[in-house]
Amino acid sequence: MSQYDVIVIGAGPGGYVAAIRAAQLGFKTACIDAGVNKAGDAPALGGTCLNVGCIPSKALLQSSEHFHAVQHDFAEHGITVGDIKFDAAKMIERKDGIVNKLTGGVKFLFQKNKIDSLFGLGSFKGKNGDLYQIEVDNKGEKTVVEAKHVIVATGSVPRPLPQIAIDNVNVLDNEGALNLTEVPAKLGVIGSGVIGLEMGSVWKRVGSEVTILEAAPTFLAAADQQIAKEAFKFFTKEQGLEIELGVKIGEIKAGQGVTVQYETAKGEAKTETFDKLIVAIGRIPNTNGLNVEAVGLEKDERGFIKVDGDCKTNLPNVWAIGDVVRGPMLAHKASDEGVAVAERIAGQKPHIDFNNVPFVIYTDPEIAWVGKTEEQLKAEGVEYKKGTSGFGANGRALAMGKAKGTIKVLACVKTDRILGVHMIGPVVSELVSEGVTSLEFSASSEDIARIIHAHPTLSEVLHEAALAADKRALHG
């Protein structure tokens, strides 16, 4: 029976990073994962993120943005394009190529760091003294391995909709939405979160009529509402997404298309028939088959594995990270937790501040934020000041043809310490990193205002927002 210092269950962005860091620290490490490629004929590392999540969705967003730009934006640059054609199958093929390259890259990193990659479903079997026994089920062929430390990184799965099952033919989850090879004439989306907005945007740009149905009465409730309201206007009035808030979903039937009955926020009964329906109502922790009962690993009432601030479970030397534990379901949060746990096993003292985790939605314009929203600060009774600046007068944004959006800086009235940075605009997924760094190092709005920002760049909008927090904006 093979024995290891560390076994990681799950090779997503939390698990594979944890395995690499553990190996770097000198531990004999194995990583168990049951992921397969799209064809289903070979293992594929990287978890949901690399295979059917973060990476493929960004590939489709980029392709669809190019197609939209050719149709709507090139003319103002003096570029005239003739017969424009869109090939959905080719777009999917490009996406698949990117996925294969990156999942192959994880395999290479495992080999480079001498990590044993074990294919199959990993589950707890019991204990042998101080060692945990983990069963690896490779399509019925079972083996058992042992380790002193176990890191659970099994991720999450789509939350099911009670009214109808996902078949990824007509009723789609995130995986099905990423693999459509034809553009549906009429696309329905249930859920206006990250997945719903991104996938709705992809297929709207390439020709679908898209309706998004959201149960919550507030659009992007987790985001700063000034930014959320600006985003709602862009998506509905400028891009033509039909977004209904506060709906109650009724009966759903699949046949010739998918028929959805629902009630609007005003109490009006409606029925819509879509060619395809994407269900994007969130994700739940993936612990099915983990057999936590064999060792007494505790879960909370929502199914998450219980951990403390250091990702320790109730069991000695058993850790859990990523989507399967508390906190935001984000790949970068999982990766940082994976690194931190490997270092804690080695006796180091890493620190993660979950208040400084950035959030990004890769629509056009992009939305990104870090830290507290205005709504949170008001609820907590924190005295704050704010500065805002728009991309409308930014030279780089105008040159790019992307002069839409706003950046807002929130700072403490007494100390000037930055409390939150919120953005909607071009490439704010990259700009938000300056906000993260500022919060991590307890910077003030004056610190950002005093830092020289290159000209002309998009980052000047953040600089201007920081100046505005002290009522000394130069260009606004």
Binding residues for FAD: 58, 122, 154-156, 323, 329-332
- Which residues define the annotated binding site? 58, 122, 154-156, 191-198, 214, 282, 323, 329-332
Q: What are phi and psi of 432, to 5 degrees?
A: -65, -20
Question: Is residue 233 a contact partner of residue 197, using CB atoms and an 8 Å limit?
Answer: no
> 407, 386, 411: which is closest to 453 by C-alpha?
407
Report d(CA 309, CA 312) in Å as an integer.
7
- Which residues define the annotated binding site for NAD(+)? 191-198, 214, 282
Q: From the candidates 422, 453, 455, 475, which is the catalytic residue? A: 455
Report d(CA 467, CA 307) in Å as an integer.
41
Report d(CA 294, CA 287) in Å as an integer.
13
| The two structure tokens encoding residue 385 | 């000041």
User: Who contacts 381 (Cβ-Cβ below 8 Å, separation ≥6)?
Assistant: none
66 in active site: no
Q: What are phi and psi of 378, to 5 degrees?
A: -65, -45
Print the SS3 string covering the chain.
Answer: CCEEEEEEECCCCCHHHHHHHHHHCCCCEEEEECCECCCCCCECCCHHHHHHCHHHHHHHHHHHHHHHHHHHCHHHHCCCCCCCCCCHHHHHHHHHHHHHHHHHHHHHHHHHCCCEEEECEEEEEEEECCEEEEEEEECCEEEEEEEEEEEECCCEEECCECCECCCCCCEECHHHHCCCCCCCCEEEEECCCHHHHHHHHHHHHCCCEEEEECCCCCCCCCCCHHHHHHHHHHHHHHCCCEEECCCEEEEEEEECEEEEEEECCCCCEEEEEECEEEECCCEEECCCCCCHHHCCCCECCCCCECCCCCCECCCCCEEECHHHCCCCCCHHHHHHHHHHHHHHHCCCCCCCCHHHCCEEECCCCEEEEEECCHHHHHHCCCCEEEEEEEHHHCHHHHHHCCCCCEEEEEEECCCCEEEEEEEEECCHHHHHHHHHHHHHCCCEHHHHHHCCCCCCCCHHHHHHHHHHHCCCCCCC
Question: Is residue 279 a contact partner of residue 161, using CB atoms and an 8 Å limit?
Answer: yes
Side-chain-side CA neighbours of 154 within 13 Å: the count stands at 24
Q: Hey, which residues are catalytic here?
A: 455
